[in-house]
Structure 1
């Protein structure tokens, strides 16, 4: 355990069934004089009517809605949206959607108040000034972006995803409403749910893990492990959906303090080059990276296995840890997540480039409990080639 660690998250979090219907009660705490609001989302969310309640509570203010957020926002996508609003004045930005929307809302917020480009902000603590207030309302249970100081931007020309990390990306208000997730397709429930589980497990085994991050990580693991299959099989189960959305938030809080590790580092090139959805890439890689790390994290994986009751308290750590890895593999099968990268066009000749790209993501690799060589990374990718 590190002796010094830090934690910072959203200013206020409101959670519960139909919480979004109370948004108007909490907006004055974000900005007392709201006259103009930017709502950021995607077409499907608007078409499903998920914004209707929000609009009803904003009848007395000017509202502009942008639905142009890409599934994996590129720097060009964000710059185009910024160009659309740069001459407008907004008192708050409300992001309603999955991680892509929430990340885009964060970045647009600081672009409005800083004389900086997206490129200037890439990295850690490079944003110069706070943004305009933000309200983040997730409609998936996966990224935890609503409570993290991170935003991910895709650079298609370089086939890379790069992070922006700054406390100025943290929102003023988060609204967690499981009712907004009831209509999620099974594939998105599976991918985002395993993404959230990966955040929690990687934070728990991270070299930067600490007492605070462990608390959030383990609570997240408990909630997700008990609800992910039910949420997948029965998407209208509100209790399972609520556990998933809160578990996802806890995962975001855990990674805010401890950081994710090699799974995420290896996942980003798959998304950047082959358009593998982030949650799918994480789910595919997770058991194989845990197997690589096993000798360094045996006790921790054993703790998780015993906590979620797939191993007995008196069971040897090695045996319990191996059960945990097998449970992850079983979940991916049950959730019908692909396990063959060739389905996405990845071939043996791509392995070298993928490993080189992953090796550059030292911000995450440094958190891994074991050092990975280039050959180690190649071998992990190869295990996912049919």
Structure 2
């Protein structure tokens, strides 16, 4: 039997105020005059106090990342081309923000050293060269992007990550202070990404004790925060940051399932953000995840969250076909959820009916 030998993040620093060590962490990674490029979430674009904390030296540059849409291969290629034209080479890419910004940092890092378009690398183990140094600093928690071996991209044909051993960050900085200002609704949607992928991992056919150990802890933390309390506290930030980390570790050695497979189709066609897309889908998945959906609905009620309804009303047959094509292309997710004969269970008719309920 052959076991997956997977790459993890090289270095992790955790704690309140850990962001203040960034200059010290990056210093030995600098290569001559080549700058560090800081990708910063547009949420902070007008926050001069926060931007002043970014440790710029020499030719270092802050690039505000537009997160209106989830990362596109065209955006990755454009940033790579701009940085190459301006600097030739860079010492590293530092992603400061949510999952989209961290995914952009990972993708552009890889494209600084690999030829062609990022669309050429959408899939499993297609990346052949290590990227430039890259660090991830989450300012919102839940996606697990800080620890995953993928960077989820929407390309001309598909929504699929650059899944490779070269994708994980060289360094992550986990500072709970950075997630304390996230608006409640957004925090919930992103945290539910973590809860949902734990449910999918823990009920999946790929489950093993490694994944189970991390997944159960992450799910427990999510339930402590969202089922057993309605008020937010600094301790909640710490628990959510670690739930995101552990949840990401859980799916490193297993896989997600139905909610993610279906939400990718929504995202590709409608541009639905990942966290809210998963919530919209999971809300209707009692037949696949009965216990998880009951808990999810309790969390939604307790925290007075609105889950959008009827988002696929009025779509054309061609629209539904495109969403189904994207979703059906994610074979490992379906196999984890339903087993090796998943195509017999998840027919296009059944998937179409599911999309129509959203």
Q: TM-score higher than 0.5 here?
A: yes
229 and 275 in structure 1: CA distance in 2 versus 1, 3 angstrom threshold: farther
Q: Is the 8 A contact 2:30 2:36 kept in 1?
A: no
Q: Indicate which of 63, 67, 83 corresponds to 1:66.
A: 63
Counterpart CA distance in 2 for 1:346 and 1:238 is 43
167 and 232 in structure 1: CA distance in 2 versus 1, 3 angstrom threshold: farther
Deviation at 1:284, TM superposition (A): 2.2
Q: Is the 8 A contact 1:189 1:231 kept in 2?
A: no
252 and 142 in structure 1: CA distance in 2 versus 1, 3 angstrom threshold: same
CA deviations over 1:155-214 (Å, ceiling 9, x no partner): 3x65x4222101111111000111111111122101101011112221222222211111
SS across alignment from 2:130: coil
Ranges in structure 1 where 5+ consecutive residues have no aligned partner: 295-321
1:223 aligns with 2:221: yes
Instruction: Give 2:275's aligned residue.
Output: 279
1:380 aligns with 2:348: no
SS across alignment from 2:93: strand
Q: Is the 8 A contact 2:312 2:355 kept in 1?
A: no
Counterpart CA distance in 1 for 2:54 and 2:231 is 29
Larger helix share, 1 or 2: 1
Q: Is the 8 A contact 2:41 2:98 kept in 1?
A: no
SS across alignment from 1:131: coil
Counterpart CA distance in 1 for 2:31 and 2:78 is 29
Instruction: Give 2:35's aligned residue.
Output: 36
Counterpart CA distance in 1 for 2:94 and 2:228 is 30
161 and 285 in structure 1: CA distance in 2 versus 1, 3 angstrom threshold: same
Counterpart CA distance in 1 for 2:338 and 2:301 is 27
Counterpart CA distance in 2 for 1:93 and 1:271 is 26
Counterpart CA distance in 1 for 2:30 and 2:255 is 31
369 and 113 in structure 1: CA distance in 2 versus 1, 3 angstrom threshold: same
Moved more, 70-79 or 96-105: 70-79
Counterpart CA distance in 1 for 2:17 and 2:165 is 29
Q: Is the 8 A contact 1:37 1:91 kept in 2?
A: yes
Q: Is the 8 A contact 1:8 1:256 kept in 2?
A: no
222 and 115 in structure 1: CA distance in 2 versus 1, 3 angstrom threshold: same
Ranges in structure 2 where 5+ consecutive residues have no aligned partner: none
Q: Indicate which of 260, 267, 291 corresponds to 1:264.
A: 260
Deviation at 1:100, TM superposition (A): 0.7
When the two structures are aligned, how many residues end up with a matched partner?
348
The root-mean-square deviation of aligned C-alpha atoms, in Å, is: 2.5
Deviation at 1:35, TM superposition (A): 5.2
TM-score by structure 2 length?
A: 0.88
1:253 aligns with 2:249: yes
1:364 aligns with 2:333: yes
CA deviations over 1:25-74 (Å, ceiling 9, x no partner): 3224645868521001233224233333232xx4x443111113333121
Counterpart CA distance in 2 for 1:222 and 1:30 is 37
CA deviations over 1:288-322 (Å, ceiling 9, x no partner): 33x3335xxxxxxxxxxxxxxxxxxxxxxxxxxx5
TM-score by structure 1 length?
A: 0.82
Counterpart CA distance in 2 for 1:373 and 1:102 is 34
